[in-house]
Amino acid sequence: MPHVTTATLMQMKRQGEKIAMLTSYDASFTQVMEASGVPVVLVGDSLGMVIQGQESTLPVEVSDMVYHTRCVARGRRDALLIADMPFMSYSTANQALATAGRLMKDGGAHMVKLEGGASQLETVHQLTANGIPVCAHLGLMPQSVHRLGGYRVQGRDEEAARVIREDALALESVGAQMLVLECVPSQLAAEISQALAIPVIGIGAGPDCDGQVLVLYDMLGITPRKIPRFVKNFLAQADSVEDAVRAYVTAVKEVTFPGPEHGFK
């Protein structure tokens, strides 16, 4: 796999080549992903649930993210490495700069990911102005789970869909270089993916995004929590973890995953 940068992902979008992305939290799994052709690795704050056993992502600390990002960085060779900014670590632009600086300088991340739309525009602008690539995150935002009233599909009514569309365009306009859409209707995700020049990565957002992301432990079927509808267990029909990851990459590239059963209307 050639060295992957943000420019690589933009080229993949322009050429219609789907982007396979997975979460990772340590060097060993990251090496498996590299060998299996995963171009983008996300150190997700989902580690709070699948690694730490928390009920949500909210208790995750910046120090946790720096530690796991550093572990993943030691295992990567060519993949683009993205790290989540944890809950309440980017409440102001200055705080966001400090958090992102730690994730990149101490953790080795190439890009940071944050949740939120209009409220984060100034923060995204400040980060990108300081040379920090940003992946935005809209739709179901796990850090806002209590405000949203649970893990529910977002953007089903016309007004909610309008807000997500406008937020996506605004985030791109202030410099976001990638967008994750989580648990939104497939049609809405398709419209946003077409409207934006930057890559749009879906999770529970249908097959028409520019790529897909899953939590590693979910797609291997080894998480104790309830498996979301948008997940497929790729280890069930594989002989090894590496085979399962390769099957995921192939399914994303050939658009056989996600299927209709993994999306929302």
Say if residue 86 is preceded by a cis peptide, omega within 30 of 0: no
Q: Are 221 and 29 in contact (CB under 8 A)?
A: no
CA–CA gap between residue 152 and residue 139 (Å, rounded): 9
Task: Give residue 146's pLDDT.
Answer: 66
Q: Which helix (H) or strand (E) holds 148?
A: helix 145-148
Query: What is the model's pLDDT at position 152?
Result: 85
**159 is annotated as an active-site residue:** no
- What residues of the chain score a pLDDT lower than 50? none
Question: pLDDT at position 224, please?
Answer: 73
* C-alpha to C-alpha distance for 135 and 180, rounded to whole angstroms: 7
**3-class DSSP assignment, residue 261:** helix
The domain ranges of the chain are 6-262
Find out whether 104 and 84 touch, Cβ atoms under 8 Å: no
Write down the architecture of domain 6-262 according to CATH: Alpha-Beta Barrel (3.20)
How far apart are the C-alpha atoms of 161 and 138, rounded to whole Å?
Answer: 11
Residues in Cβ contact with 157 at an 8 Å cutoff, skipping those fewer than 6 apart: none
| pLDDT of res. 47 | 97
pLDDT of residue 151: 73
Query: Which of 159, 182, 242, 261 is the catalytic position?
Result: 182
132-162 burial, b at 16+ Cβ within 10 Å, e below that, comes to bbbbbbbbbbbbebeeeeeeebbbeeeebbe
pLDDT tens, residue by residue, 84-125: 999 999 999 999 999 999 999 999 999 999 999 999 999 999
Give per-residue pLDDT as tens, 163-172. 999 999 999 9
In angstroms, rounded to a whole number, what is the distance separating the alpha carbons of residues 54 and 31?
Answer: 26
